Chain A
Amino acid sequence: MARYVIVMDTRRCIGCHSCTVACKVHNELPTDMVYNPVVQDGPHGIYPNLHSRFLPLICMHCNNSPCVDACPTGASVQREDGIVYVEDKKCVGCLSCVMACPYGARYHNHETGAVNKCNFCMDRVDQGMVPHCVATCHQKARIFGDLDDENSEVYKLIKENQYIQLLPELNTEPAVYYLI
């Protein structure tokens, strides 16, 4: 079975927000909802030795996902390939998952009353395509693939490069890796 992950190459990301826009446009997100914020970490250091990097944030599709455990209706589901999504018709908008998510990756849609989140564009993934944010990244800073496939690009990148995961101390086992 596949285990889908995204590798974010922070050495390549220039903070252009193309992924943010592509996600909003293709998923037709409400104005106040951003699945793909690109935040700036830094600048750190003392002039002239300054360092800054862009961190594209997204749902981490955690292997040990607190949002799925917290959902009282069973609307938050994790597929066998690791993708976490919300079954809209089952969601009652209790915000349990919003509060449980340590990454702030879930949003209450005030128009529908339900909670929405990034689902790795799973309809596209099921058709063999990559998520919109990955397809639009002209810097190739986002790489999507199957971590269980030893021939995949993500497997090689993670194996050969130094990476970090966000909030590892929470033991959520995120599926997003940041190359540094």
Chain B
Amino acid sequence: MSEKHQTWGWMLAVDFFFAGMGGAMLVIAGLADLFIGPETTSLLGNIVGPLCMCVGCGFLILELGRPMQAWRVFMNPKAILTFGAWMMTFAIISGLVYASFGIPAELIFWRDWSGLRHLLVIVNIVTGLVVATYPGVLLARHKGRPFWTGPGLMGLFLLSSLVTGFAAHFLCGLVLSPAAATVQSHLPVLLAVLLAAQALLWIGYLWIKRTGTTAVEAASAQRWISGDLSGAFKITFMVLGTVAPLIMALIPVVVFQGIAAVLALVGGVAMRMLTVRSGADRTFLPGEQKYRSRLPQGHEKFLKKIWL
């Protein structure tokens, strides 16, 4: 058996990363527009947000066993994946139209339609929040996956999406400055605050999983604390992706703040990779793990050649 326990792969984690980041970028741009004023975030950031979601969709499609039939994921309104797919579609369209308001007036005729812009801002905030949060909800509803189950992941995914959204907006602002620097100048501090919250919440989540839940949940959390995922969790996510950018974001030097934003993005990818990989920990039935460990591994071609 080539894959003893079939689980989602790294491409879904990358989809979660891009979709979450893109969704959060829409939320941030929308809130800035609503409460501070238009064009307070970088035009590049406003365009990159929905494009990131498109990239995420691409990875999601590649993850499918039958990528050419990807349109079918829109068909069952009761499934949370379908809900997420529709929300992502609305967010991409709305986000791209909203971003077009940053294009010079001579190129677009709707630039002065403030009513449409405000409507899009509201749609962006709502759909962006859903897209940023829904991977956590999707995973948390898996009853048989002890590390995911429970409401905790919902908050952690939303938080991580906001972290990566702030980081991406800041980086885009460095490349193409917004018309007003009010928001851009505050992004590193906001990023640092969110990173501090992220560190605390992840420590709390693992501690609760390790001590306050069932034996299988404790075992799955142990993989992060001292098992095979601990190195990636502690070094890549906590140190490089959370604590280091937290410190660097507070240093009032643009280069350090830029590096902090890049590291925060690395942390976002690492967190999703680790979380998706933890899905391999299913609640096994009595004797099942032993049975599956004895199944042939890597002998399929030999078996087919001889017996089939």
**In the complex, what's the smallest C-beta–C-beta distance from A89 to chain B, in angstroms?**
9
With A and B bound together, what is the CA distance between A34 and B72 in angstroms? Answer: 27
Contact yes or no, B72 A73, CB < 8 A: yes
Check if A94 sits within 8 Å of B143, measured CB to CB: no
Contacts of A100 in B (CB 8 A): 141-144
Chain A residues positioned under 8 Å from B73 (CB to CB): 72-73, 92, 94
Given contacts A66-B143, A99-B279, contact A94 B286 (CB under 8 A): no
Please measure, in the bound complex, the distance between the C-alpha atom of A100 and the C-alpha atom of B138, giving whole angstroms: 10
Q: B287 near A41 (CB under 8 angstroms)?
A: yes
Pairwise interchain contact A92-B64, C-beta atoms closer than 8 A? yes
CB distance from A98 to the nearest CB of B (A): 5
Residue of B nearest to A37 (CB): B291
Question: Which residues of chain A in 54-83 are interfacial with respect to chain B, using CB atoms and an 8 Å cutoff?
Answer: 55, 57, 66, 69-75
Contact indicator B308/A92 (Cβ below 8 Å): no
B169 surroundings in chain A (CB, below 8 A): none
Q: Which of B6, B7, B291 neighbours the largest number of chain A CB atoms within 10 Å of its CB? A: B6
- A129 is an interface residue with CB less than 8 A from chain B: no
- Asked whether, in the complex, the Cβ of B65 is within 8 Å of the Cβ of A40, the reply is no
Interface of B, secondary structure class, is: loop
Of B64, B296, B304, the most chain A CB neighbours within 10 A belong to B64
In terms of DSSP, what is the predominant structure of the interface of chain A? loop
Q: A32-B1, A70-B81 are in contact. Are A55 and B285 (CB under 8 A)?
A: yes
- Which of A42, A95, A112, A172 neighbours the largest number of chain B CB atoms within 10 Å of its CB? A95
Cross-chain contact of B291 among A39, A101, A115 (Cβ < 8 A): A39
Question: Contacts A32-B1, A32-B300, A37-B291 known; A72 to B75 CB distance under 8 Å?
Answer: yes
**Residue A119, interface by CB 8 Å:** no
Known contacts A31-B308, A34-B295, A40-B287; A104 and B65 CB within 8 A of each other: no
> Which chain B residues in 77-112 approach chain A with CB under 8 Å?
78-82, 85
Q: Could you give 26 example pairs across A and B, Cβ below 8 Å?
A: A37-B291, A39-B287, A40-B290, A66-B141, A70-B80, A72-B79, A73-B69, A74-B72, A75-B72, A90-B72, A92-B65, A92-B67, A93-B66, A94-B63, A94-B65, A96-B79, A100-B143, A102-B144, A104-B5, A104-B282, A104-B285, A107-B6, A108-B6, A114-B65, A115-B65, A170-B143
